[in-house]
């Protein structure tokens, strides 16, 4: 649900008008609590996605194959929100005191590169038939 992070961040961006850091930290705590509630609800909606699986079974389709293809598609699209998220959270001009620590930025960058690398391998193995 990375798209929900961007949407939620965009919707809450104009809420803080007070320039004090303490107030921003207070709003950040509220934002985090709100995010937990929102993502829990989104998770429940995702759990309801078993309905299409049930329909696939009733139609005689192999739900495992459908699941594999859906996960491959999600994997290939995952870098689209991850790269900007990594880039924006390391930008001190944009984030101010809320910029990620160097170790967080390095670890996040490693994982983003790992995901991109695994996607490249997936595409290579898929299109060349290599194993």
pLDDT in tens, 13-29: 666 677 888 888 888 88
Tokens of 4: 């929900």
Residues written for the chain? 131
Mean pLDDT, residues 59-72:
84
CB 91 within 8 A of CB 99: yes
Q: Structure pTM?
A: 0.56
The answer, yes or no, to whether residue 71 has pLDDT greater than 80, is yes
Cα 110 off chain centre by: 16
**At 121, which helix (H) or strand (E)?**
helix 102-128
Mean pLDDT, residues 102-128:
93
| pLDDT band (50, 70, 90) for residue 4 | low
Burial 52-87 (b: 16+ CB within 10 A, else e): eeeebeeeeeeeeeeeeeeeeeeeeebbeebeebbe
Phi and psi, residue 20, nearest 5°: -70, 135
Closest by CA to 66, choosing from 77, 54, 78, is 54
What beta strand segments (E) does 45-124 contain? none
């Amino acid at each position: 649900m990375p798209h929900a992070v961007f949407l939620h961040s965009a919707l809450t961006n104009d809420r803080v008008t007070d320039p004090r850091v303490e107030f921003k930290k207070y709003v950040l705590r509220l934002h985090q609590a709100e995010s937990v509630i929102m993502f829990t609800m989104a998770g429940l909606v995702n759990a309801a996605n078993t309905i299409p699986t049930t329909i696939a079974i009733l139609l005689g389709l192999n739900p495992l194959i459908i699941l594999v293809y859906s996960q491959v598609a999600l994997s290939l699209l995952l870098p689209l929100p991850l790269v900007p998220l990594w880039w924006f959270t390391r930008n001190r001009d944009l984030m101010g005191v809320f910029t990620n620590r160097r170790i967080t930025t390095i670890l996040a960058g490693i994982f983003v590169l790992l995901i991109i690398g695994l996607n490249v391998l997936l595409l290579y193995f898929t299109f060349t038939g290599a194993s």
